[in-house]
Amino acid sequence: MLSPNRQELVDVIVDSIRSSAAEATESMRARVTAVVGEATSEELREMGERVAATGGEWGYHPPNALARKLNHAMAGALIAPGSSLDGVDVLDAARRGPVTFLANHLSFADANLFEAMLHEAGCDDIAGALTVVTGPKVYSDVSRRFSSLSFGTIKTPQSVSRASGEAVMTRREVARLAKTTLAAVAERRAAGDHTIVFVEGTRSRTATMQRTLDAVSRYVDDESSTIIALGVTGSERMVPIGDERLHRAEVHLHLGRAVSARTIKEKTRRNRRLVMDVVGHLIAAQLPSEYRGVYGSDGDELAEARDIARLL
Contact 144, 137 (CB under 8 A): yes
CA distances from 34 to 23, 66, 72, 173, 279 (A): 17, 12, 12, 45, 41
Report, as an integer, the average pLDDT of 201-210: 94
pLDDT above 60: residue 166: no
Q: Give the pLDDT confidence score for residue 163 in this predicted structure.
A: 46
Rounded CA separation 181/143 (Å): 24
Residue 131 belongs to domain spanning? 4-311
Determine the average pLDDT of the residues in 182-206.
Answer: 95
The pLDDT score that the predictor gives to residue 157 is 85
Number of structural domains in the chain: 1
* 169 or 307: which leads in pLDDT: 307
Reported as a single tens digit per residue, the pLDDT across 34-77 is 999 999 999 999 999 999 999 999 999 999 999 999 999 999 98
- Residue 134 backbone class (left: φ over 0; alpha: ψ -120 to 50; beta: rest): beta
pLDDT digits (tens, 9 = 90+) for 12-24: 888 877 666 677 7
Is residue 244's pLDDT more than 80? no
Model confidence at 1, pLDDT cuts 50, 70, 90, reads confident
Which of 50-59, 157-166, 286-295 shows the lowest mean pLDDT across its residues? 157-166
| Four-residue CA torsion sign, 284, 289, 291, 295 | positive
Write down the H helix ranges in the chain: 4-15, 22-38, 41-53, 65-78, 92-96, 110-120, 124-127, 142-148, 171-190, 235-238, 261-267, 272-284, 303-311
- CATH number for position 60: 3.40.1130.10
Closest Cα to residue 21, out of 79, 73, 82? 79
Q: Mean pLDDT of all residues in the chain?
A: 91
Residue 7 has pLDDT above 90, yes or no: yes
Share of the chain above pLDDT 90, in %: 75
The answer to whether residue 181 scores a pLDDT higher than 50 is yes
Model confidence at 167, pLDDT cuts 50, 70, 90, reads low
For position 13, what pLDDT does the model report?
Answer: 86
pLDDT at 173 (0 to 100): 80
Handedness of CA 89, 92, 93, 97 (dihedral sign): positive
User: pLDDT-based confidence at 168, cuts 50/70/90?
Assistant: low
